Amino acid sequence: MAEQKLRGKTALITGAGRGIGKGIAIAFAREGARLILTSRTPEELVEAAAECIEAGALEAITCPADLSDESQLLELFEFARARFESLDLLVNNAGAFDGGPLDELSTEAWDKVMNLNVRAPFLCTREALKWMKPKQSGRIINLGSIAGSRVRPESAAYSASKHAIWGLTQVTALEGREYGVTCCCLKPGNIAVERRMNSGNPIDDEPMIAIEDIAEVALLMATLPPTALMLEATVLPHRQLYVGRG
Q: Phi/psi zone of residue 136: left (φ > 0), alpha (ψ -120 to 50 degrees), beta?
A: left
- Please list the pLDDT of the chain residue by residue as tens digits (246 residues): 578 999 999 999 999 999 999 999 999 999 999 999 999 999 999 999 999 999 999 999 999 999 999 999 999 999 999 999 999 999 999 999 998 999 999 999 999 999 999 999 999 999 999 999 999 999 999 999 999 999 989 999 999 999 999 999 999 999 999 999 999 999 999 998 876 666 667 677 788 999 999 999 999 999 999 999 999 999 999 998 887 665
Catalytic residue among 31, 116, 158, 215: 158
- The CATH number given to whatever domain includes residue 173 is 3.40.50.720
**Does 158 qualify as catalytic in the annotation?**
yes
d(CA 195, CA 152): 18
The total number of structural domains that make up the chain:
1
Domain-embedded: residue 100: yes
2 assigned to some structural domain: no
48-57 core/surface letters (b: 16 or more CB in 10 A; e: else) = bbeebeebbb
The reply to whether 246 falls in a domain is no
What is the extent of the structural domain holding 139? 10-235
Q: In this predicted structure, what is the pLDDT of residue 198? A: 61
pTM above 0.85, yes or no: yes
